[in-house]
Structure 1
Amino acid sequence: MRKLSVTLASILLALAALALTPYADTAHAVLPGAIAVAALLLLLSIVADRPKAEPGRVASEPLRPAALAPAPSRNQSDAEVVNFLAILQEKGRLVDFLMGDITGYSDAEVGAAGRVLHEGAKAALLEHFGILPMREESEGSKITVPTGYAPDEYRLVGRISGEAPFTGTLIHHGWKVDWVKLPRLAGASSDRLPAIAPAEVELQ
């Protein structure tokens, strides 16, 4: 699952980079949604990738009555993911963008909202993930795919025959994650998940 998280983070960064390049008006409505979907899939993969508790060891002597240690909150992992979602909401209004009805807005208006989402989500990603290119060569260069390469590090297209090493043209340099620094929550409530964003109330 960690490879899936890395792949989704790479896709998210690729979409963010694509959003900075000139594109057709129709893409204004497509890219923000694609970025948002990739961000949510990344969050789900992080939940699935959380380490599970190790099974207890078999006791070498008969069990004796003892006080039960408090079990960790079953919502701890979920709360940490919600906390990261709250960061994306705070930085780029991700949840507002996804949960709002955009059918009544023009492509230009959706594109403007997508730019805010892009800038905020990118800042959050760079703060919590060390993202680097998979290959340092410029796109269009001739490169060699080494023997024993990891399947998630290269996508081979065209006529494929034989075994690695392969030589071909670099179409996209790819992305990888060097480190992850997700926020940790201490003492998450066992009966509810934290809020993504508080309700704002103006008092009269």
Structure 2
Amino acid sequence: MHAMKVIAIVVVLLLAVVNALELLPAATAFRMYLSAGAVALSLVALIAILVGRSSSRDNRSADAEAARPIPVTTRANQADAEIVSFLALLQARGRLVDFLMDDINAHDDAQVGAAARVVHAGCKTALLEHFRISPVRAESEGSTVQVAAGYSPDEYRLLGKISGPAPFSGVLVHHGWKTDAVNLPRVLRNSTHRLPAIAPAEVELR
């Protein structure tokens, strides 16, 4: 790049000298040579400038490519695939997705109740197999409980008017749920372009 700038400067100076000589009384043939030399020098200058710009753009492009961080290869949507896998388990055990996606208004209460029992039994079994679930509070609902200072915000939702700092005293409306162990099955992705199906379409061949 520096060499191209030097060439361009030298050529410009030579062009200035040539133009100055054109003003001097000289032979016509000599002025023709000077004009031809001016044209040639102009072409050299133009080529030098264009090559210099092209080289500069290539260098900037190479520098930008080198500075660009290398993407880290990760297991795309692995967590999403495992969530879908557990949803598929709830569908297989209790037909949960069928029950939730169906229009229950088309069925009477007895039919909905019978379907709910199947969903409840199957999904509860699957839930207890993969989560160790227990109440946040052991007291019975409706009893008076104390919420100590420093309580976990995800374990308590305080209702009503809140005044002053903890501890708080109130009536237990819902005992809450928590889990201290999760054992979800690991999923091996067959494709990173789509999530696995919740339940396959069933086709009876004839």
Offset from partner CA, 1:116-158 (integer Å, 9 cap, x none): 1122222222122211111112233332110111222222234
Given candidates 172, 180, 183, the residue that maps to 2:182 is 180
**Percent identity at matched positions?**
63
**Deviation of residue 175 (structure 1)?**
1.2
Corresponding residue for residue 197 of structure 1:
199
Could you tell me the TM-score, scaled by structure 1's length?
0.59
Aligned length: 139
Relative to structure 1, the CA distance from residue 192 to residue 167 in structure 2 (aligned partners, 3 Å threshold; closer, same or farther) is closer
SS at match of 2:132: strand
Q: Does 1:127 align with 2:129?
A: yes
Q: Does 1:139 align with 2:135?
A: no
Q: Equivalents in 1 of 2:144, 2:115: separation in Å?
A: 38
Q: Equivalents in 2 of 1:169, 1:100: separation in Å?
A: 37
Q: Equivalents in 1 of 2:137, 2:151: separation in Å?
A: 13
Corresponding residue for residue 41 of structure 1:
none
4+ residue segments displaced more than 6 Å? none
Relative to structure 1, the CA distance from residue 190 to residue 143 in structure 2 (aligned partners, 3 Å threshold; closer, same or farther) is same
What are the ranges of 5 or more consecutive residues in structure 2 without an aligned counterpart? 1-64
Query: Normalized per residue, which structure has more helix?
Result: 2
Q: Which entry has the higher C-alpha Rg, 1 or 2?
A: 2
Relative to structure 1, the CA distance from residue 184 to residue 162 in structure 2 (aligned partners, 3 Å threshold; closer, same or farther) is same
Does the 8 Å CA contact 2:81/2:189 hold for their aligned counterparts? no
Corresponding residue for residue 84 of structure 1:
86
Could you tell me the TM-score, scaled by structure 2's length?
0.58
SS at match of 2:145: strand
What are the ranges of 5 or more consecutive residues in structure 1 without an aligned counterpart? 1-62
